[in-house]
Amino acid sequence: MNPTFVFIFFLNFCFAAGLSTSPGALVRLNTGGLNEVVKSFIESINKEIDDVTVGDVNGETHHLHYQISNIKFHLNIDPDSFALKTDNNGGLTFTVYSISGSVHFHYHLKFAFIKKSGNCDASFDSSSISVTLKLGEQNGAPNLMLVSVNPNIRDLKYKCHGGLLDKIIDILHHFLTPVITKKANSYIVKVVQKKIPEISQKLARIQTIHGLPGKLSQFFVDYGIASNPTLTSKELRIPLIAQFFYQGHQGDKPATVYPSPNPFPSVPSEDLFCVNLDSNLVFRSAVYAFNVSDKSTFEIGKDVFSKLPGNSKTFFDCDCTGENCLVQLIPNLSKNCPKGKYFGISGKVKFGADLLANSSGLIFYFSGNGTFSLQEGNSAAFQNPEHPKNLEVRGSPKNPGDLEIKAEVGILLEKNLQIQNGSLFGKLDFFYTELSASYNNQEIAPVILEKIWNYVLKNLVEKYVNDELQGGIPLPQLKFINFVDVKFFFNGPFVQ
């Protein structure tokens, strides 16, 4: 785990508004995860105190004038020697029982008419530090507050160079040890006081609303905090919105987007870091976003057909030859299909809101109405995405030579999901549950439709959807965290 992320591991998402007030995800860190967070925090402090030079010290006590200069500390807080305590008010206290280190300095002493100077090295190993932090919120962003920091460096063991060593060391023990340890303790306090605001600033800068890449750039996912995090003696729980929305629709509150009952486990996770998704709520928000977007209508032409495998590239051409051609499978189409033209597809898709999870992954469905219309080889409506959309599904008249098709298609999101380059990727598999088609009000035989599906439509649907999703689903950009041994589990509508 990268120590530079420090306590950002706690609150890695900011507060934001969402479609539903219920969280779509719950981030959980068990005591082992919290321990790892504290360790990384300690390691980040160690980077600041490993080699420290502090200012000179001058003073007088019991007629002894002293000057300590060239003070240089090497400090180390043991990240494996601490105790962790939490409270129900969001407070967390960790006490480290082992601070070790050394200090080198030059001394100059004057007592009456006696003057002595030289160099000393001192070491210590029986010191401690206690830090109390509290999770809070400030101006709509998460905030990590320092309640107290109490370092206790003591019991210096000296090795000095110069005259009258025994007497000098005795003087150092009695008079200068408090001065030197105060310097060390004060420096540690300053480092901790500096670190906490730095962490809060990083928290405030973390982007919580992410636009999907590529062709889905008008879709967004909101990773804002849904409500205040809770901290117990067994785990930290951070509820996240984790919902999708389409541009201009973030404020919608659709009745179709609602959470599952009791979506999240009440017992601590066995893993250090766990994210539980109410996939019902997450999926419903994605469905709503899609159905209100212009992506619910589609146009497919030569630019997509050309990417199909083998001879299926020419499947929709009027001059296609062979048994695997649309005009051969439905001969009546060839009567109104002159050479040089092809059947482009326009249509409308609507996703259903229900989600099924099983041992294979997540299954959801969409229904589509498609119109196969004759197009020129370089039809502007199909080749230019900026061309005015005036196809049948948007209200233009239906042509006599059009083939109408309806499909109920299932999509399986396989459970072997992967996180790559800050995005979530998964493999999609497609199957149809119902196909029907008509041409000039005549129904097309199911056996013909199955051939069309198996030969070209399945590949076409997969190609179209995968092109849209090729950039994956972006996750919060937490560059200070490296996840290893990531596993996904499916249980009903819930994903862990």
Low pLDDT (below 70) residues in the chain: 1-20, 136-142, 162-165, 376-401, 476-482, 492-493
Helices vs strands, H then E, count in the chain: 9, 27
First to last CA, the chain: 21
d(CA 489, CA 414): 11
Domain ranges of the chain: 3-12+30-205, 293-496
Choose which CATH entry (3.90.420.10, 3.60.21.10, 3.30.1490.20, 3.15.10.10) describes domain 3-12+30-205. Answer: 3.15.10.10
The SS3 call for residue 318 is: coil
Q: What pLDDT is attached to residue 72?
A: 94
183 CB contacts (<8 Å, ≥6 apart)?
Answer: 54, 57, 71, 73
Sign of CA dihedral 248, 250, 254, 256: positive
Q: What pLDDT is attached to residue 69?
A: 92
Nearest CA among 263, 184, 239 for reference residue 27: 239
Q: Which amino acid appears at position 344 of this protein? A: G
d(CA 391, CA 22): 39
Helix, strand, coil % in the chain, rounded to nearest 5: 25, 40, 35
What's the chain's length in residues?
496
- Which residue reads 């906490």 in tokens? 196
Give the DSSP H/E element, type plus range, for residue 492.
none
**80-84: long-range contacts at Cβ-Cβ below 8 A with a sequence spacing of 24 or more?**
80/39, 82/38, 82/42, 84/31, 84/34, 84/35, 84/38
d(CA 183, CA 54): 8
- For 243-275, b/e burial (b = at least 16 CB within 10 A) is bbbbeebbeeebeebebbeebbeeebbebbbbb
Tens of pLDDT, residue by residue over 119-134, are: 889 998 879 999 998 8
Q: What pLDDT is attached to residue 132?
A: 92
Inter-CA distances, 275 with 18, 37, 52, 260, 494, Å: 19, 16, 40, 16, 11
What's this model's pTM, rounded to 2 decimal places? 0.72
d(CA 313, CA 165): 93
Contact between residue 276 and residue 263 where contact means Cβ atoms under 8 Å apart: yes
Give the DSSP H/E element, type plus range, for residue 7.
none
d(CA 343, CA 403): 9
d(CA 215, CA 212): 8
Q: How many CA atoms lie within 13 A of 334 on its CB side?
A: 11
Nearest CA among 218, 317, 277, 314 for reference residue 426: 277
352 CB contacts (<8 Å, ≥6 apart)?
Answer: 287, 364, 365, 366, 367
Give the DSSP H/E element, type plus range, for residue 208.
none
Nearest CA among 422, 400, 416 for reference residue 471: 422
Neighbours of 427 (CB within 10 A): 13
Q: What angle do CA 159, 163, 168 make, to 5 degrees?
A: 55
